[in-house]
Amino acid sequence: MQKLADLLIQKIPALQPVPVDFVYLGVQVVFALVMLMAFVAPFAGIVSWVERRIAARMMDRVGPNRVGPQGFFQWIADGIKSILKEDIIPTAADPILFRLAPYLVFAGMFAAFVTIPFSSGLIIADLNVGIFYLIAVTSIVVVGILMAGWASNNKYSLLGGMRSAAQIVSYEIPAGLAILVVVFLTGSLSIQDIIKGQGAYPWQWYLFDNPFMPVAFLSLFISSLAEGNRTPFDIPEAESELVSGYSTEYSGMRFVFFYFEEWANLYLIAAVGTALFLGGWQIPPEVKTWASALGGVVGFTLPHALEFATFFLKSAVIVFIIIWIRWTLPRIRVDQLMSLCWKYLTPFGFAASLGVAVWMVVFPQGVMSVRYALCAGAATIVLYFFYRVAYQVWYSRQPIHVNPFV
Amino acid sequence: MELNTEEMLLNMGPQHPSTHGVIRFVVKTDGEVMSAAVPDIGYLHRSIEKIAEKATYNGFMPWTDRVDYLAAMNCNVAYAMAVEKIAGIEISRRAEYLRVIAMELNRIISHLLAVGSLGMDIGAYTPFVHALREREKANDLIEELCGQRLTYNYARIGGVIYDMTPNWDAKVLAFLEQFEPLLNEFDRLLTDAKILKKRLGGVGVVTAEEAINYNLVGPNLRGSGVKWDLRKDMPYSVYPELDFEVPVGTGEAGVLGDCFDRYNVRMKEMRESVKILRQCFERIPAGEYQVKVPKKIRPPAGDVYVRTESTRGDLGVYLVSDGSDKACRVKFRCGSFNAMSIVEKISRGMMVADLIAFIASLDIVAPEIDR
């Protein structure tokens, strides 16, 4: 970021009398806006379309396919429709809180993207408390949801808001413990430092650093699902019980803000998992040297583009898995949700952090053979899983498409 | 400082995503745990029994579809059987077989919706759509048989309205051939899902004694471990000639008589229906599908009660005739009405999420409650 700002000051004479700090600030704000508007907003929209298409495939339906090629512009059509809808505020609602709630939810989500890196250079602000800031700022979402539930003056909304608050606050703890484990290994809270501590190849990832890391990763993944209100933890907006939970009374664009938050949150969950455990944007150093050696504009942009693609692909895989889980599993009950958090995830989180601490004392340099073994184990599990999927697809193929009327 | 809490009165329904029709539950809740859920019925009352007194015997047949729109065939047949019994009409064996075939297909259709919507009510959307896909195929078959997809109006006093179309039996057998493996797939997707067992196991336990005292019938009664099926125990039509099992609850996911048992009984009953259908097509004789009956039926004065095993259990028709061409009184006795009466007792101290699962596992159909 600083380099870019320096370049601008050199090239544009009008900027030279302006204090340097202002230029830095201006560049950063403009970059933040571009990143959020050009990446996060379309991503949330496109993911809504992707999710609907994937869900349709799983359900043996077609899904939205009318607007544009394969229905790609469905999300734009939905957005326009929502803006044109009447914005209804119930008479009995608290008008100020009712209006404020969607913005809080929206702001909490967008503010979290400030510390999410897209490549080694593409980051809005590389805070030295990056991951801590991220946890703190996403908690604003809870306030918004609780506010929405209370201000709607609807009993379903209230129940939904309460459930959501209880759920998100509880699951911060296992999530925090899992993140703490990574902070042990790195010795830094900055997300860029955490990624720099890993490498491009799977055995260099923190996920396979020692036997306790997969536990921490799973615990983080499950907690993120719960914090993001995704199935099997979507009880705050459980349609069959609470109609639509805290967003029952909302309509038009305010309603979209809640769903926007949910889909943007998908990427956030995936990005945090990728950055902390799956090597982030790291590409093999040989590739990076080769790309930088091209020189000129290409040499400057290509490494960043490759890093961005790596990071994005890893995140996209996680996003797909989350969508997959959502359309497969039933949801669990409130008390089961709480017992999962307090009886299983939290103790496992503590055990993992203790294990990692001991491991770091016993093997300060790490053990390469353990890393290779864990990596091979994970690969075996994934391969076996795909074998099972292929087998089941083959097994159920012939009967499924028999049409009795042919 | 003392914290005062008060109970919240939550009106669940008449319009609510999981009440499946217009039923209202007045839920007294303290947070997530309810102290009681009181069902409030009557939103779907259409005076069907009164209409029966104003319509001729044949003219009332289409109304019986609306008693329970998910098991229209069973209601058709139950009413036709009642009139035939009081008027002393013997129907042909082919007509009996056609009725049983249609009723068992109807049972599959109805149970598919029941288990699918139970899945949807606890958050699993995909199995619901898979169940509906299979239901559509069965609906297509029924449509070819009688021209309707939901309110069949197929049975007639003295038989059925149409014979089956040429090659229809082969189509049904082809459907059954691919339906059985799909039931296995459904089992893998939903029945064996650990979350489903956790959600349904031990929830909404109805003991056998309670089930009998509250007059639960059909799969709800069998889910509590009582082996009582009118097709076996008070046989009618051609059921005594057919070989099938009566599945009962086993308590495999928790306690005997919980939601999972009721769900699982329905899953197993679909397999039994497949078995019955196969046997019917092997045995169905040639012959007339309708016997001659006078245009205006004037049964002798008297009364008659006919019991049949509908998809929601014991469907009884009580018919009083005064010798004219219109019934003096017709009363339908339906399973859902009794199932509603137990909700208040079982729901005490339940969680809101469990109430939804409990209602879904009772397979309540709103129009059948009110008629």
> What does the pLDDT look like over B148-162, one tens digit per residue?
888 888 888 888 888
Query: What percent of chain B has pLDDT above 90?
Result: 2
- Chain A contacts in chain B segment 171-200 (CB below 8 A): 171-172, 174-175, 177-178, 181-182, 185, 188-190, 193, 195-196, 198-199
Q: Give the nearest chain A residue to B141 (CA atoms).
A: A404
As for how many domains chain A has, the answer is: 1
Considering only the beta carbons, identify the residue of A331, A335, A404 that sits closest to B123. Answer: A331
Higher pLDDT, A231 or B334: B334
| Res. A238 pLDDT band, cuts 50 70 90 | low
Tell me whether residue A69 is in a domain: no
Mutate to test the interface with A, among B164, B179, B199 (most CBs of A within 10 A): B199
Residue range A128-137, pLDDT digits in tens: 888 888 888 8
Domain spanning B55-345, CATH architecture: Orthogonal Bundle (1.10)
With an 8 Å Cβ cutoff, are A333 and B199 in contact? yes
Tokens read off for B227: 């082996």
Residue range B89-147, pLDDT digits in tens: 888 888 889 889 999 999 999 999 889 888 888 888 888 888 888 888 888 888 888 88
- Chain B contacts in chain A segment 208-247 (CB below 8 A): 231-232, 234-235, 238-243
Tell me whether residue A8 is in a domain: no
Q: Give the nearest chain B residue to A404 (CA atoms).
A: B171
| Res. A406 pLDDT band, cuts 50 70 90 | very low
With an 8 Å Cβ cutoff, are B18 and A240 in contact? yes
pLDDT for position A396 = 62
**CA-to-CA separations, B5 to A146, A402, B30, in angstroms, rounded:** 19, 58, 8
List CB contacts (< 8 A) between A393 and chain B.
Answer: none
With an 8 Å Cβ cutoff, are A335 and B32 in contact? yes
Tell me whether residue A78 is in a domain: no
List CB contacts (< 8 A) between A333 and chain B.
Answer: 198-199, 351, 353-354
Q: Give the nearest chain B residue to A56 (CA atoms).
A: B126
* Stretch A96-124: mean pLDDT: 83
Q: Where are the domains of chain B?
A: 55-345
- Report CA torsion sign: B50, B56, B57, B62: negative
Q: Give the nearest chain B residue to A232 (CA atoms).
A: B123
pLDDT for position A2 = 64
Listed ranges A56-60, A240-244, B29-33; the one with the highest mean pLDDT: A56-60
Q: Between chain A and chain B, how many beta carbons pairs sit less than 8 Å apart?
A: 101
With an 8 Å Cβ cutoff, are B125 and A336 in contact? no
Q: Return mean pLDDT, chain A.
A: 83
pLDDT for position A26 = 80
List CB contacts (< 8 A) between A329 and chain B.
Answer: 123-124, 193, 195
With an 8 Å Cβ cutoff, are B351 and A155 in contact? no
Of the candidate ranges A80-84, B100-104, B292-296, the one whose mean pLDDT is the lowest: B292-296
Is it the case that residue A400 has pLDDT exceeding 50? no
Of the candidate ranges A116-130, A374-388, B127-141, B195-209, the one whose mean pLDDT is the lowest: A116-130
Note whether B31 contacts A: Cβ–Cβ < 8 A. Answer: yes
Considering only the beta carbons, identify the residue of A156, A327, A333 that sits closest to B125. Answer: A327
Residue B201 bridge partners (DSSP): none
Asked if ipTM goes beyond 0.95, one says no
pLDDT for position A383 = 93
Could you tell me if residue B204 is left (phi over 0), alpha (psi between -120 and 50 degrees) or otherwise beta? left
Tell me whether residue A403 is in a domain: no
With an 8 Å Cβ cutoff, are B123 and A335 in contact? no
| Res. A384 pLDDT band, cuts 50 70 90 | very high
Tell me whether residue A158 is in a domain: yes
| Res. B47 pLDDT band, cuts 50 70 90 | confident
Note whether B28 contacts A: Cβ–Cβ < 8 A. Answer: no
With an 8 Å Cβ cutoff, are B123 and A238 in contact? yes
Structural domain including A106 reads: 85-364
pLDDT for position B217 = 87
d(CA B303, CA A401): 50
For residue B29, give the amino acid letter. Answer: T
Contact indicator for B367, B46 with CB cutoff of 8 Å: yes
Query: What percent of chain A has pLDDT above 70?
Result: 94
Note whether B99 contacts A: Cβ–Cβ < 8 A. Answer: no
**CA-to-CA separations, B207 to A226, B179, B229, B241, B347, in angstroms, rounded:** 35, 33, 18, 32, 14
Contact indicator for B109, B142 with CB cutoff of 8 Å: yes
Tokens read off for A389: 């999927």
With an 8 Å Cβ cutoff, are A61 and B129 in contact? yes
pLDDT for position A403 = 54
Tell me whether residue A394 is in a domain: no
pLDDT for position B231 = 86
With an 8 Å Cβ cutoff, are B175 and A404 in contact? yes
List CB contacts (< 8 A) between A325 and chain B.
Answer: none
With an 8 Å Cβ cutoff, are B182 and A330 in contact? no
Q: Among A125, A131, A135, A138, which residue's Cα sits nearest to residue A29?
A: A125
pLDDT for position A130 = 82
Is it the case that residue A60 has pLDDT exceeding 90? no
- Residue A38 per-residue DSSP state: I
Which pTM does this prediction carry?
A: 0.85
Q: Residue B132's CB: how many other CB atoms inside 10 A? A: 18
Tell me whether residue A16 is in a domain: no
